[in-house]
Amino acid sequence: MKLLKYLLLTLLLLFVGFALYTYLTPPASPPGETIYTYNNKDYKVEYSRPYKKNRLIFGKKEDGALVPFNEYWRTGANFSTDLTVSDSFYFGDNLLNKGSYWIYTIPGKDSWEVFLNSEAGSFAFFEPNKSNDVAKLNVKPFVLDNQLEQFTIDFHEIDNKLNLRLLWDKTGISIPIN
């Protein structure tokens, strides 16, 4: 009986210790959120924001790139990166209904494939079910003037057009969404 008490007490202390450690330790890729209103539509992106940490971010797999060229990237960390729009909107030339969509990418040296998938809110370690893709774009990457330590998504207006930008390390892409 005493042994059972000590075992239960030990398990309780381990559980409380783990819970405190999890609660007090900042995540390696903290959550991020970007909200923007444009032409009476509300746009929101929810994503996880990994850090560069002296790693090669985009490049060849054999060079040890964290995000290898021409391979699926969940576009952030942890859960899916989700775009939610309050009204119908354009993603490139694709007119889409209001709602939430998973953004994922296949980065390339000279061109990126950007996808919207209807499985928003997914745990993104595995590739999405491509039959749920609702739109695909090809965009050209650009070089950032300054290295960006943490993955960042923002909205940017140019010539009365709204773009969603993905920025990390020395690389950026701009996705037309209006």
In the predicted model, is pLDDT for residue 21 greater than 60?
Answer: no
Given this model, what pLDDT does residue 78 score?
A: 86
C-alpha–C-alpha distance, residues 78 and 71, integer Å:
17
C-alpha–C-alpha distance, residues 35 and 46, integer Å:
9
- Please report, for the chain, the start and end positions of each structural domain, with discontinuous segments joined by +: 28-176
Query: What average pLDDT does range 13-36 have in this prediction?
Result: 73
pLDDT per residue as tens digits for the range 88-97:
999 999 999 9
In the predicted model, is pLDDT for residue 115 greater than 90?
Answer: yes
> Scanning the structure block, which residue is given the tokens 């889409």?
96
Q: Which residue has the higher pLDDT, 7 or 143?
A: 143
CA dihedral 166, 169, 171, 176 (to 10 degrees): 10
